[in-house]
Amino acid sequence: MSEVTETIEAAGRRIAEAGLSAARPARDPVNRPAIRDWLAAIGDDNPRYEREGLAPPAMVQVWTMRGLRPSAPDDADPLRVMSDVLDEAGFTSVVATDCAQTYHRYLREGETVAVRSRLTGVAGPKRTALGEGWFVTTASTWEVDGEPVAEMRFRVLKYRPGATAPARADPIRPVTGPDSAFFWAGVDAGELRIQRCGKCGALRHPPGPGCPACGAFTPEYVVAAGTGTVHSYVVHHHPPLPGRRSPVTVALVDLDEGVRMVGELRGTRPAIGDRVQVTFADGLPVWRPAGIELPRWDLAVTPTVIISSALATRDFQDVHHDRDAAVRRGSRDIFLNILATTGFVQRYVTDWAGPAAVLRGIEIRLGAPCHPGDTLTFTGYAHGDEVAVAGRTATGEHVSGTVRVTS
Ligand code: ZN
């Protein structure tokens, strides 16, 4: 183990052992001007907030952001202390990777919120697409007069800028042959096709030249309803799959037509017997929990969208508003910050669920950065109280996650 690694790990242990930081109050009480700026930047026109004097739940972190010129650096904040250690070791760039927020209730105008945080994990050094770095995880609680109102698990990657990033690997593509060409042509056409014997009518999968029932070589196909039941599954964590983020759930699905098919399962914690329906993504059939498909939403991401949402979330890191600074740090342009992405995810779900819906939590993972000129396309599937949400750009999946909502 290198000396640098030892120093970082020792600092991580020391900071974790220090436990929960003292409550750090927000600069301002929850207030309507800040809420209006946020709603305008996110484009959220849910009338509920103004009518009832409530703050959008996805804003919770905004209230305790430090702002452009922090007047009194809070040395006790575990993320800041750990970041200083990693800066010192040369891991000076930062990107948020995932965030899970739970809302016990909505904040009201006039309330003053305070945050407490503790360090829960430091993992590294890891090789990532951005370079070598360390994942730092913190757990925070927001309180009003000692009452916990929201909680968050937050993870960032602190990485060394300028490290040679491995070329982005292409996702594994299906191997097609004469027997399976009809299947992949179906995927391209948005159809799940099952091979059928032209003589006896037996269905079979995977495709092959001959019928195992009668031996005839006259394959045809039918279009499946696209619904089925999870027969079994595995959750793949390691080794990494080219062009994919782990973990990946691969399920054996019993189709209602009677054949069994292997496929990726997204948007749910799997359980044997779950009802699933097929969708198509990245040129592959992808299974989702059976439920309601939300209307797709295309967000045209302009520099104004990125900068106004960064400022409305009080995130003044230069990579979200200064193109030259973003390029210096190895990015091709400014990019959307995680607080804004959380806001857009909230807007997408509440636009669909209606103003009466109550958000209980948002859990997201970030992937490909979202730059000016991108179209960020949101899709979602609702099952029970959970909505699985994904936001994709032309370069890949920017965000995926789950929103818990009750009406
Ligand atoms: Zn047959």
pLDDT digits (tens, 9 = 90+) for 346-386: 999 999 999 899 999 999 999 889 999 999 999 998 988 99
CATH class for the domain made up of 3-163: alpha beta
Q: Are 30 and 109 in contact (CB under 8 A)?
A: yes
Q: How far is the CA of 185 from the centre of ligand 1 (A)?
A: 23
In order of 204, 226, 252, 288, 376, the CA distances from 259 in angstroms are 6, 12, 10, 18, 36
Determine the pLDDT at residue 247.
86
Query: 3-state SS string over 266-309?
Result: CCCCCCCCCEEEEEEECCEEEEEECCEEEEEEEEECCHHHHHHH
CA of 260 to the centre of ligand 1 (A): 18
pLDDT of residue 71: 63
CA of 280 to the centre of ligand 1 (A): 29
Cα Rg of the chain (Å, integer):
24
Is the predicted pLDDT of residue 56 greater than 80, yes or no? Answer: yes
Query: What's the pLDDT score for residue 239?
Result: 84
* Predicted local distance difference test score (pLDDT) of residue 77: 87
What are the tokens at 181? 């060409």
Q: CB 140: neighbour CB atoms within 10 A?
A: 23
Q: Which residues of 387-399 are buried (b: 16+ CB within 10 A; e: fewer)?
A: bbbbbbbeeebbb
Domain ranges (residues) in the chain: 3-163, 172-223
* CB-based contact 61:339 (threshold 8 Å): yes
Q: How far is the CA of 207 from the centre of ligand 1 (A)?
A: 13
pLDDT band at 62 (very low <50, low <70, confident <90, very high): very high
Q: Which two tokens stand for residue 265?
A: 């399962």
Q: How far apart are CA 54 and CA 46, in angstroms?
A: 11
- What's the average model confidence in pLDDT over 23-44? 96
What separation in Å is there between the alpha carbon of 200 and the centre of ligand 1? 4
- Is 407:353 a contact under the CB 8 Å cutoff? yes
pLDDT at 316: 95
Sheet strands side by side (includes 193-197)? 203-204, 193-197, 219-223
Please tell me the distance between residue 220's alpha carbon and the centre of ligand 1 in angstroms: 10
Residue 159 C-alpha to ligand 1 middle, in angstroms?
58
Helix or strand run (H / E) with residue 127: strand 114-128
End-to-end alpha carbon distance in the chain: 52
Would you say residue 306 has pLDDT above 90? yes
- CA 132 to centroid of ligand 1, rounded, Å: 56
Q: Which of 186-190, 269-273, 338-342, 379-383 is least confident?
A: 269-273
Q: Using alpha carbons, select from 344, 345, 349 the residue that is nearest to residue 42.
A: 344
Taking the centre of ligand 1 as the mean of its atom positions, its distance from the CA of residue 262, in whole angstroms, is 23
Distance 208 CA to ligand 1 centre (A): 12
Q: Separation of 257 CA from ligand 1 center, angstroms? A: 16
The token pair at 185 is 């042509």
**pLDDT value at 250 more than 70:** yes
pTM: 0.81
The tokens 């990485």 sit on which residue? 159
Q: DSSP string of 390-404?
A: EEEETTEEEEEEEEE
